[in-house]
């Protein structure tokens, strides 16, 4: 791709402004400020931060690619994701916001199930966040590679490295502030891209609608019921209260800010998914059928957008990748310090902040290496979803509502759900076409209730011994 000088200038100017914005919002003096912004984030910042993380590379570049292949098939399925965000906003995010003494998801799990559950939550959270960082870094690195012609390895280092430095210096408040800016720029640029693509398309709107309907029908015919159910379930549960989102709920200034921010983000998602899926359909008016799905978003933008605006879109795409990475890198560092080191080591506030910042750089380096082996965007996300929901989600949700929780129940649920899903997906390759996330959730639920019953009996025996 040959980049116009004006587009290159817009990209450079955008990132200079972004770095300056990040610098003036980087005042971080304590670990609590680094982790949850002193529990003072208002509604609009919760919404903008959530939306910016959601519309990252998977649900923009990757989702446009799915629209290119299957029309609105994935849009209908991913509406489960938007519904999930709204439901979380109504029922779960306010519950999390009540835990004003917690700086991480593991802190909440410790209060409900003990130190072992906190440690296990920390392990899963760090691994998941590194995986997200790697998948997103590959997308951002690939875009920069196409634009500049530099080696992919160098582009991976640049995108994830700069992200790590911003996160290192500012913590969650700087992350949320820059995400709000990036969210605004990308939302406007992509909306303009879709409107111009439709307006300039040689096909009429009716032809585009017919093409979308035909592709959607063919997409459904190419999948069986279990596959559709598995993808819907993955979108519904796979990102529910993952560490970056849980940290937004914990960082909100009150329960209402948390609730309203999540609900607004869910409603915005439903609109955003329709825009990028339609963009994939419209792209057939401009691009040959041999175009790689992951290249559709950038390639059609180059053909449609005028000089300068294309540069702004490229900058926004790379920046939104970085915004998503900032969230997960910050969450991984917090989980490492609070949930993995916390149960065995209690350093001073100053040392804790230093360890969190050092962990940010360390996990970024691991993600840069892992990004070289990451699969395509949506496929990579679905793998991560299949691990998260069966391990943490069920004991977390039950812990928020069940008054008398049992440590054994939480720990067994995490171990059984995670192990079952991992084996079913990685070694057995989903036999009978049963989705790993479903099998893992069943195992997680059985282990939880088995542990709850065993834990209750242990308490009765202990009381009998005392008597």
Residue 10: count of CB within 10 angstroms of its CB: 20
Most confident of 16-25, 338-347, 384-393: 384-393
In the chain, what percentage of residues exceed pLDDT 90?
A: 49
Listed residue (50, 8, 20, 3) closest to 268, CA to CA? 50
pLDDT score at 169: 64
Higher pLDDT, 278 or 164: 278
Q: Which two tokens stand for residue 400?
A: 């928020």
Of the candidate ranges 207-216, 264-273, 307-316, the one whose mean pLDDT is the lowest: 307-316
User: What is the arithmetic mean of pLDDT over 388-402?
Assistant: 93
What's the CATH number where 366 sits? Answer: 1.20.1730.10
Within-domain flag for 461: no
Query: How high does pLDDT run on average in the chain?
Result: 87
Q: Is 373 helix (H, G, I), strand (E, B) or coil?
A: coil
Indicate if the pLDDT at residue 464 is higher than 60: no
Per-residue model confidence (pLDDT) at position 34? 63
Measure Cα distances from 235 to 55, 69, 259, 283, 374 in Å.
Answer: 14, 18, 20, 25, 19
| 354, part of any domain | yes
- Can you give the pLDDT at residue 383? 86
* 72: containing domain: 5-376
Quickly state the pLDDT bin for 313 (edges 50, 70, 90): confident
Contact between residue 53 and residue 239 where contact means Cβ atoms under 8 Å apart: no
Residue 52 pLDDT: 82
As a whole number, mean pLDDT of residues 433-450 equals 94
pLDDT (0 to 100) of residue 321: 79
pLDDT at 420 over 50: yes
pLDDT band per the 50, 70, 90 thresholds, residue 248: confident
Domain contains 124: yes
CA 418 to chain centre: 19
- Into how many domains does the chain fold? 1
Each residue of 2-41: pLDDT tens digit? Answer: 677 888 888 888 777 777 766 666 556 666 666 555 677 8
Which of the four pLDDT bands, split at 50, 70 and 90, describes residue 465?
very low
**pLDDT score of 381:** 81
Average pLDDT over residues 173-194: 80
Q: What is the average pLDDT across 314-333? A: 82
Question: Does the residue 401 lie in any domain?
Answer: no
Average pLDDT over residues 60-88: 93
- Tell me the average pLDDT across 277-301: 93
Q: Which of 143, 153, 61, 151 is nearest to 372 (CA)?
A: 153
pLDDT score, position 25: 60
Could you tell me if residue 439 is inside a domain? no
Residue 211 lies in a domain: yes
The whole-number average pLDDT for the span 301-305 is 92
The DSSP-derived string for 299-330 is HHHHHHSPTTHHHHHHHHHHHHHHHHHHHHHH
Closest to 73 measured CA to CA, from 254, 258, 222, 245: 222
Rounded distance between C-alpha atoms, residue 328 and residue 322, angstroms: 10
In the predicted structure, residue 466 carries a pLDDT above the cut 50: no
Q: What's the whole-number mean pLDDT along residues 59-69?
A: 91
Residue of higher predicted confidence among 270 and 353: 270
- The answer, yes or no, to whether residue 352 has pLDDT greater than 60, is yes
Determine the pLDDT at residue 467. Answer: 32
The helices-and-strands tally (H runs, E runs) of the chain is 20, 0
Greater pLDDT, 256 or 17:
256
Instruction: Specify if 381 maps to a domain.
Output: no
CA distance 128 to 124: 6
Q: pLDDT (tens digit, 9 = 90+) per residue, 130-174?
A: 999 998 888 888 888 877 788 888 889 988 887 887 777 665 666
Handedness of CA 338, 98, 324, 45 (dihedral sign): negative
The pLDDT, as a whole number, for residue 29 is: 62
Q: Give the per-residue SS3 of 39-80.
A: HCECHHHHHHHHHHHHCCCHHHHHHHHHHHHHCCHHHHHHHH
Q: Is 290 helix (H, G, I), strand (E, B) or coil?
A: coil
pLDDT of residue 177 exceeding 80: no
Which of 154-163, 267-276, 338-347: highest mean pLDDT? 267-276
Provide the 10 A C-beta neighbour count for residue 178: 25
Residue 409 predicted with pLDDT over 90: yes
Placement of tokens 């969210």 in the chain: 183
pTM here is 0.85
* pLDDT of amino acid 406: 92
Residue 211 pLDDT level (bands cut at 50, 70, 90)? very high
- With respect to residue 187, please indicate whether it lies within any of the assigned structural domains: yes
């Amino acid at each position: 791709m040959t980049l116009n000088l004006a587009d290159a200038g817009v990209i450079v100017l955008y990132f200079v402004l972004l770095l300056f914005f990040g610098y003036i919002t980087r005042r971080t003096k304590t670990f609590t400020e680094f982790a949850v912004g002193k529990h003072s984030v208002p509604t609009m910042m919760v919404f903008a931060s959530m939306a910016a993380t959601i519309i990252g590379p998977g649900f923009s570049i990757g989702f446009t690619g799915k629209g290119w292949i299957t029309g609105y098939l994935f849009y209908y399925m991913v509406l489960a994701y938007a519904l999930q965000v709204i439901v979380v906003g109504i029922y779960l995010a306010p519950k999390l916001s009540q835990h004003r003494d917690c700086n991480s998801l593991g802190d909440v799990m410790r209060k409900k199930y003990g130190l072992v559950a906190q440690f296990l939550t920390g392990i899963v959270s760090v691994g998941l966040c590194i995986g997200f960082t790697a998948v997103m870094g590959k997308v951002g690195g690939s875009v920069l590679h196409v634009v500049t012609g530099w080696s992919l390895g160098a582009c991976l280092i640049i995108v994830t490295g700069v992200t790590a430095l911003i996160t290192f210096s500012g913590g969650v408040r700087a992350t949320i502030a820059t995400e709000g800016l990036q969210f605004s720029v990308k939302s406007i640029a992509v909306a303009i891209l879709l409107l111009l693509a439709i307006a300039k398309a040689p096909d009429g709107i009716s032809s585009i609608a017919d093409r979308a309907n035909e592709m959607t029908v063919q997409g459904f015919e190419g999948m069986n019921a279990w596959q559709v159910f598995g993808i819907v379930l993955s979108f519904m549960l796979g990102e529910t209260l993952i560490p970056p989102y849980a940290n937004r709920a914990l960082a909100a200034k009150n329960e209402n800010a948390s609730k309203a921010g999540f609900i607004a983000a869910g409603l915005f998602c439903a609109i955003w998914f329709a825009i990028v899926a339609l963009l994939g359909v419209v792209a057939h008016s401009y691009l040959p059928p041999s175009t790689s799905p992951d290249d559709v978003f950038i390639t059609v933008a180059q053909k449609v957008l005028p000089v300068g605006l294309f540069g702004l879109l490229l900058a926004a795409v790379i920046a939104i990748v970085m915004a998503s990475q900032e969230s997960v890198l910050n969450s991984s560092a917090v989980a490492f310090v609070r949930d993995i080191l916390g149960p065995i080591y209690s350093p001073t506030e100053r040392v804790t902040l230093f360890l969190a910042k050092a962990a940010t750089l360390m996990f970024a380096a691991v993600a840069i290496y892992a990004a070289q082996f990451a699969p395509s965007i949506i496929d990579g996300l679905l793998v991560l979803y299949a691990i998260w929901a069966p391990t943490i989600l069920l004991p977390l949700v039950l812990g928020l509502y069940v008054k008398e929780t049992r440590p054994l129940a939480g720990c067994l649920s995490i171990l059984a759900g995670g192990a079952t899903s991992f084996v079913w997906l990685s070694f057995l390759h989903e036999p009978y076409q049963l989705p790993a996330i479903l099998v893992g959730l069943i195992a997680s639920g059985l282990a939880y209730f088995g542990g709850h019953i065993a834990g209750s009996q242990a308490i009765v025996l202990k009381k009998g011994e005392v008597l």
